[in-house]
Structure 1
């Protein structure tokens, strides 16, 4: 018997039974009062589908959306980490102007609804950047080429590449505010005596940060950064509002075309749960191994 089952006590079993009863009651209520016809047998075809003409399996709507969510989350987290580290350093800078600018950016993003921020960044920044770099024409040229397998592996459908870039930029700019505060807290957690000792032996501020402060601060901020990465995955659903074709957007498409309302959204919720819970367990294990 698995170890987690051996740890279960009778209150845990009662809670599980109550949860099962609640889910069963909701399912029966939906089917009875709303006269809803459950069609779970159709959902697997929208995850993986067999193509008879090529005799091969291909990822359908939901799996395409899941892959897009993973790609966007990875790229956004890297960009958010870079921007957030810069913001965290700016928040602890000696120059008052730099500190005020960084704090203004952080406070604005942390106190404005994310939906508003997404639209502001999209229309005033990422859309303008994509047009300036002429990414639409570049992505179309690659999509028309022959060797697109590598590009599609990293970026998905290249015809949708500009919208993915827009989503990555918007999500990274939003999440960088939270990463910046985490980095700032990590830097300020280092005892001031260590910094003064570094200055007393002739280290510059850059050397002090590089050799004394940042190595210790990074160890302290890894757990909250891991939690922020999981939050970023869940926040990625917001960018479906700007037509980025990630998991939530694909689910909306599926519901609109098939009317599989409950089946589609429950499946999507399960995808998000498995992804986020799996990463949570992984980060917890890595934290214990440190």
Structure 2
């Protein structure tokens, strides 16, 4: 047990205080709020057995967790693409390009994400969905024979337009932070290397591709990993526009069963497990590099 061997007396005291605090909160909820814990019901809302078909299926909380993972992955990829473009634009030689990129970054970084979500949803999202005719396309896919393949990647295709809205608004918001991380990475590369690249006839694109970006991305792995974990937590915000991810499903569960503390504690545990696991994974990746 190497982990417990590393613990000292102070660590045990901290663990004891935390255990006492948790016990106090539980007793307070039971006593003052007269709350009856019903933890035995929670597993049924994660996985449920359907007796008529003799199969297990994902219930509310697991459905929301899967949706959160999907949205986080797609939004992270899009935010990385947009953020890289913005970071490169922030270091461009053209003043207009730099100012446009900075305006976008400063605007999104200094407006609360909830406001951004509502502005995008009510003023841009529906127009984009109508312009691309996503509603009728998604309904057609839902009725097709290949619907299972699409549902594996995107979930219920009838809710695909909502998924698109959630992914885009998250990516737009997070790309502002990714852009600043990329800019800092690019500017950390010594100017002498860029000047040497130009002296041997490299174009700006070749300089970025072969010299600057490979070094920059190695340096920005830690803050980029942290931003990806932040994006997972920020994904709960899009529940406000009825995107059926984990937080939205938890609200539904609480409203229908009154399992207030059990549902929210379980949801918090899901977020913690995902974010902590990614943190450990990225830490190992950093050590190898």
- Higher alpha-carbon deviation: 227-236 or 114-123: 114-123
Corresponding residue of 2:194: 195
Deviation >6 Å, runs of 4+: none
Corresponding residue of 1:91: 90
1:160, 1:8 → 2: CA distance? 49
How do 1:15-164 residues align onto structure 2 when only pairs under 5 Å count?
15-164=14-163
The answer to whether structure 1 residue 270 and structure 2 residue 269 are counterparts is yes
Corresponding residue of 1:5: 4
1:194, 1:216 → 2: CA distance? 11
Q: Which runs of 5+ in 2 are unaligned?
A: none
Please give the per-residue CA displacement for 1:47-81, whole angstroms capped at 9, x wherever unaligned. 00000000010000000000000000000000000
1:223, 1:179 → 2: CA distance? 12
Instruction: Compute the displacement of 1:148 (Å).
Output: 1.7
Instruction: Compute the displacement of 1:239 (Å).
Output: 0.4
Instruction: Compute the displacement of 1:134 (Å).
Output: 1.1
Corresponding residue of 1:180: 179
2:67, 2:275 → 1: CA distance? 15
Q: Secondary structure at the match of 1:58?
A: strand
Q: Secondary structure at the match of 2:243?
A: coil
Instruction: Compute the displacement of 1:222 (Å).
Output: 1.4
Corresponding residue of 1:288: 287
Instruction: Compute the displacement of 1:125 (Å).
Output: 2.2
Instruction: Compute the displacement of 1:123 (Å).
Output: 2.0
Please give the per-residue CA displacement for 1:121-152, whole angstroms capped at 9, x wherever unaligned. 22222221111111111111121223322111
Instruction: Compute the displacement of 1:194 (Å).
Output: 1.0
Q: Secondary structure at the match of 2:217?
A: helix
Please give the per-residue CA displacement for 1:62-107, whole angstroms capped at 9, x wherever unaligned. 0000000000000000000000000001000001000000000000
Corresponding residue of 2:255: 256
Corresponding residue of 2:166: 167
Q: Secondary structure at the match of 2:189?
A: coil
Q: Secondary structure at the match of 2:220?
A: helix
2:127, 2:224 → 1: CA distance? 30
Corresponding residue of 1:208: 207
Q: Which runs of 5+ in 1 are unaligned?
A: none
